[in-house]
């Protein structure tokens, strides 16, 4: 990596910086974040590949998020000495690519208890006993001997990271972690030497910093990630934080400070700012606190930063000395390198859909516009461009995320690709969601895919309704059906899998009628949200702003579904639809639709009420696959794959994932020829291994040159998959 070379466009970003004893080649870093890339307390074999891919893509520094002790959120721990070789493999992978690696070490946020294999959860720890956010559990107040164990754990972790060859250690004093709680008057009700007065609340932070330094020695940079404002009633304010930061930076114990904002529940909305949050939301806080750091370098993610131009401006304006990002680099690992080499148009722009966070509880993180993320061991390193064993003629039907990704990957591997799209624009469901209020940024994903297809020479044909005859007329070797889905006109849903009485009347509509056909009723509208995605609340807000009197009806406890609960959007969505005047009826469902009236009922008591004078009913319920073309093509082409919603309606990330996955099978000897063959291989994980499926094979990443193309299988082979 030639990151030390200055760039005429971005001289600040591409200048070196020293954090304590460590010099970093440039001023853009991969920020710490949670990810399911650990087994037990050890890094899995995917972790080094995931991190090194961003250094290969130009980042000067990677900060990995690590548990101080135990296993939470799928992150490894440097506390056990037996884990040192695994962390050494991590450090070696980063160093071979020319980067530096720090470990952000934190102890459980206040709301997290750890489940044992055969018993109830161990308690979350805190400075004082308090009920935690989100459940009825209470934290355990640390006693004196437990405080000493905590301090020693930081010393031990520092020593182990030093042995592993790490370059730095960052203590997390933010996001409700244990050290942040001790600093907070909201959480810390102690009356001993660790509580009450501000100096006492900082005592544990100083002692843990000293312990980390004692363990790490003078070879590592030591810093903290610190909240600029808790945004909690009774918590510390920005003014309080400024004074605390002044004390911390004046202690001589830190080589850098990493500034962040907010604690749960606000941090859940601001920690990964969604499309409803302005870019650089942290910047005013960082500016206000900058002087308190004195000569200590300040680094920050700033919030929803997506380009090096933004980073250059922030550094040039003195906002901070180094800028980081997580999601922007999850979406585009080569973001920094592309900017350095003048290929910024090649970089995906993070669309802030926060699927990387919403997918977390499902067991393996992912990215809607970059399905290779978190799967770099098998899909990374730019292997796609190495070419297929047998270049083929490929027809992709459908221009949504799945079809666009399939066409991109197939063309990148040397296939001749024709993409047929029935509409007049590319984008499919992603373009449709971009018409919802506040989600215009989603267009960025479509624009990138469209630009890549143009660059790769894909024959894109808009306004073509594909039939078996039109597809077979292209004489394809392989066909990928990515024709998406349609909302059920009957109102079937996961809550009630049967038609709603009266669904066939002429004032009953589907989401497509609003978003694609421009339906805008002005009177009373009843919107049934039986899906829980962007569609229901977004359409309710859209129609309300257009003058309609909207009542949103849902069987759930909130007007959003489970996935959106994890994207950090729920507060914004509920706030927006309330502000628009939408009536929200939760735990309620439609019984029947009559003559411009709707009968709804309480899902627990069965109590009914009738809504009269209804001009329109919108049924945003379950979706049905558009899979007719698959049936018509069965057995008529060598390889036929149905992907995304056409296979089974699911989140958009499933479509782009399958677009890449199945496009990689085309033209490869021994590869599956249908979804059925891919789904039932001889070995269950042969074609579908998940990230963190196995522990780290240290020999795999300790060779002189880390091979990020693929481990244990040839590029493009049937086993080279995720």
Give CA–CA dist 246/567, Å, rounded. 34
pLDDT of residue 170: 98
**Phi and psi torsions of 299, nearest 5°:** -120, 155
pLDDT of residue 1: 46
Helix (H, G, I), strand (E, B) or coil at 309: helix
Reply yes or no on domain 17-352 having CATH 3.20.20.70: yes
> pLDDT class for 679, splitting at 50, 70, 90?
confident
Element (H, E) at 522: none
Mean pLDDT over 134-138 rounds to: 72
The bridge status of strand 393-397 relative to strand 17-19 is unpaired
Hey, where are the domains in the chain?
A: 17-352, 393-484+626-667, 489-624
Residue linked to tokens 């980042």: 59
pLDDT of residue 69: 81
Give CA–CA dist 594/466, Å, rounded. 38
The tokens describing 651, both together, are 């989140």
pLDDT of residue 358: 83
Task: Outline where 165-279 has alpha helix (H).
Answer: 178-183, 198-216, 238-250, 266-270
Residue linked to tokens 């083929």: 392
**Phi and psi torsions of 359, nearest 5°:** -75, -15
Counting other chains too, the contacts that 671-675 makes at CB distance below 8 Å and 24 or more residues apart are: 671/639, 671/716, 671/717, 671/718, 672/639, 672/718, 673/638, 673/639, 673/640, 674/639, 674/640, 674/641, 675/641, 675/642, 675/643, 675/647
Number of other residues whose CB lies within 10 A of the CB of residue 544 = 23
Give CA–CA dist 437/515, Å, rounded. 11
Q: Indicate if the pLDDT at residue 381 is higher than 90.
A: no
Measured N-to-C along each axis, helices 570-579 and 535-545 cross at an angle, to the nearest 10 degrees, of: 30
| DSSP one-letter code for 483 | -
Complete DSSP assignment for 43-79 = EBTHHHHHHHHHHHTT-SEEEEEEESSS-BTTB--S-
The tokens describing 142, both together, are 């640390």
Q: Among 129, 117, 134, 2, which residue's Cα sits nearest to residue 71?
A: 117
Mean pLDDT over 621-638 rounds to: 97
Element counts in the chain: helices (H) and strands (E)? 24, 31
Give CA–CA dist 721/716, Å, rounded. 8
Q: Among 618, 622, 619, 664, which residue's Cα sits nearest to residue 645?
A: 622
The tokens describing 85, both together, are 């070789």
**CATH code, residues 489-624:** 3.50.50.60
Measured N-to-C along each axis, helices 144-164 and 198-216 cross at an angle, to the nearest 10 degrees, of: 40
The tokens describing 191, both together, are 């009356």
**CATH code, residues 393-484+626-667:** 3.40.50.720
pLDDT of residue 363: 67
CB-count burial class (<10 Å; 0-12, 13-18, 19+) for 600: buried
CA dist 165 → 144, 168, 248, 348, 487 (Å):
32, 9, 26, 32, 54
Q: Indicate if the pLDDT at residue 7 is higher than 70.
A: yes
**pTM, full prediction:** 0.92
| DSSP one-letter code for 293 | G
pLDDT in tens, 222-248: 999 999 999 888 999 999 999 999 999
The tokens describing 84, both together, are 């040192």
CA dist 720 → 35, 146, 383, 530, 619 (Å):
22, 47, 11, 38, 41
Helix (H, G, I), strand (E, B) or coil at 347: coil
Q: Indicate if the pLDDT at residue 435 is higher than 60.
A: yes
Are 480 and 663 contacting, i.e. CB atoms less than 8 angstroms apart?
yes
pLDDT in tens, 333-373: 999 999 999 999 999 999 999 998 888 777 667 899 999 99
- According to DSSP, the residues that pair with 64 across neighbouring strands are 103
Helix (H, G, I), strand (E, B) or coil at 100: strand
Peptide bond into 265 cis (omega under 30): yes
Mean pLDDT over 254-271 rounds to: 79
The tokens describing 706, both together, are 């880390």
Mean confidence (pLDDT) of the chain = 89
Q: Indicate if the pLDDT at residue 523 is higher than 70.
A: yes
Mean pLDDT over 310-321 rounds to: 98
pLDDT of residue 691: 42
Give CA–CA dist 17/12, Å, rounded. 10
CA dist 453 → 107, 422, 430, 548, 673 (Å):
45, 17, 17, 40, 24
The tokens describing 225, both together, are 């990630």
Mean pLDDT over 85-97 rounds to: 97
Q: Indicate if the pLDDT at residue 380 is higher than 70.
A: yes
Give CA–CA dist 131/263, Å, rounded. 15
| DSSP one-letter code for 19 | E
Q: Indicate if the pLDDT at residue 76 is higher than 70.
A: yes
pLDDT in tens, 394-430: 999 999 999 999 999 999 999 999 999 999 999 999 9
Are 268 and 354 contacting, i.e. CB atoms less than 8 angstroms apart?
no
| DSSP one-letter code for 612 | E
Of residues 121 and 516, more confidence is placed in 516
pLDDT of residue 117: 52
Q: Among 374, 198, 223, 394, which residue's Cα sits nearest to residue 296?
A: 223
**Phi and psi torsions of 91, nearest 5°:** -65, -40
> pLDDT class for 78, splitting at 50, 70, 90?
very high
Give CA–CA dist 13/7, Å, rounded. 8
> pLDDT class for 121, splitting at 50, 70, 90?
low
Give CA–CA dist 552/577, Å, rounded. 9
Are 522 and 615 contacting, i.e. CB atoms less than 8 angstroms apart?
yes
> pLDDT class for 302, splitting at 50, 70, 90?
very high
The tokens describing 230, both together, are 């808790």
pLDDT of residue 5: 56
Cα(first)–Cα(last) distance of the chain, in Å?
27
Give CA–CA dist 43/74, Å, rounded. 9
Give CA–CA dist 101/64, Å, rounded. 7
Element (H, E) at 469: helix 468-472
């Amino acid at each position: 990596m030639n990151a030390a070379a200055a760039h005429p466009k971005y001289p600040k970003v591409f200048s070196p910086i020293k954090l304590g004893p460590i010099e970093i080649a440039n001023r853009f870093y991969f920020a710490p974040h949670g990810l399911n890339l650990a087994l037990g307390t050890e890094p899995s074999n995917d972790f080094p590949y995931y991190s090194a891919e961003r250094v290969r893509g130009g980042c000067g520094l990677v900060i990995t998020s690590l548990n101080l002790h135990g296993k939470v959120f799928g992150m490894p721990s440097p506390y056990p000495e037996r884990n040192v070789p695994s962390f050494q493999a991590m450090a070696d992978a980063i160093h071979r690519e020319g980067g530096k690696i720090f470990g952000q070490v934190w102890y459980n946020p206040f709301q997290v208890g750890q489940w044992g294999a055969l018993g109830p959860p161990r308690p979350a720890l805190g400075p004082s006993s308090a009920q935690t956010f989100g459940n009825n559990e209470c934290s355990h107040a640390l006693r004196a001997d437990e405080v000493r164990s905590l301090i020693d754990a930081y010393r031990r972790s520092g020593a182990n990271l030093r042995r592993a060859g790490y370059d730095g250690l960052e203590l997390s004093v933010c996001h409700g972690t244990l050290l942040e709680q001790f600093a907070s008057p909201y959480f810390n009700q102690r009356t001993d030497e660790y509580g009450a007065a501000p100096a006492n609340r900082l005592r544990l932070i100083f002692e843990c910093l000293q312990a980390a330094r004692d363990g790490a020695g003078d070879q590592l940079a030591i810093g903290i990630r610190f909240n600029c404002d808790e945004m909690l009633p009774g918590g510390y304010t920005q003014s309080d934080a400024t004074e605390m930061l002044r004390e911390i930076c004046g202690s001589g114990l830190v080589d850098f400070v990493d500034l962040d904002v907010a604690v749960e529940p606000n941090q859940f909305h601001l920690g990964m700012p969604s499309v409803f949050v302005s870019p650089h939301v942290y910047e005013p806080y960082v500016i206000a606190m900058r002087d308190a750091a004195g000569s200590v370098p300040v680094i920050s993610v700033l919030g929803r930063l997506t380009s090096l131009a933004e980073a250059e401006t922030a550094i040039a304006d003195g906002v901070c000395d180094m800028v980081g990002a997580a999601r922007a680099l999850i979406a585009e690992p080569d973001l920094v390198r592309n900017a350095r080499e003048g290929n910024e148009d090649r970089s995906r722009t993070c669309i802030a859909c926060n699927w990387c966070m919403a997918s977390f509880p499902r067991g393996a993180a992912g990215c809607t516009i970059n399905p290779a993320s978190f799967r770099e061991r098998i899909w990374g390193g730019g292997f796609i461009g190495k070419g297929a064993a047998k270049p083929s003629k490929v027809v992709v039907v459908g221009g949504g995320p799945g079809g666009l990704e399939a066409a991109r990957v197939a063309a990148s591997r040397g296939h001749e690709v024709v993409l047929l799209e029935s509409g007049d624009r590319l984008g499919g469901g992603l373009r449709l969601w971009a018409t919802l209020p506040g989600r215009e940024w989603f267009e960025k994903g479509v624009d990138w895919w469209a630009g890549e297809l143009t660059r790769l020479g894909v024959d894109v044909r808009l306004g073509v309704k594909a039939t078996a005859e039109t597809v077979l007329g292209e004489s394809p070797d392989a066909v990928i059906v990515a024709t998406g889905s349609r909302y059920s006109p009957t109102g079937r849903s996961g809550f009630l899998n049967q038609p709603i009485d009266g669904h066939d009347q002429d004032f009953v509509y589907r989401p497509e009628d609003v978003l694609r056909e421009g339906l805008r009723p002005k009177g009373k509208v009843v919107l049934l949200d039986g899906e829980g995605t962007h569609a229901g609340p977004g359409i309710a807000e859209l129609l309300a702003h257009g003058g309609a009197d909207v009542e949103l009806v849902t069987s759930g406890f909130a007007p959003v579904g489970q996935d959106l609960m994890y994207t950090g959007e729920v507060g914004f969505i509920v706030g927006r639809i309330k502000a628009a005047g939408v009536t929200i009826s939760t735990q309620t469902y439609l019984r029947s639709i009559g003559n411009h009236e709707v009968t709804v009922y309480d899902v627990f008591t069965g109590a009914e009420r009738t809504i009269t004078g209804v001009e329109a009913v919108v049924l945003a319920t379950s979706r049905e696959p558009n899979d007719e073309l698959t049936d018509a093509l069965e057995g008529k082409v060598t390889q036929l794959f149905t992907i995304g919603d056409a296979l089974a309606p699911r989140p958009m990330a499933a479509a782009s994932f399958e677009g890449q996955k199945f496009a990689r099978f085309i033209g490869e000897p021994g590869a599956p020829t249908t979804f059925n063959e891919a789904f039932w291989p001889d070995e269950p994980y042969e074609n579908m291994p998940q990230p963190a499926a196995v522990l780290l094979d240290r020999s795999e990443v300790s060779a002189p040159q880390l091979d990020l193309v693929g481990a244990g299988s040839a590029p493009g082979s049937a086993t080279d998959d995720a």
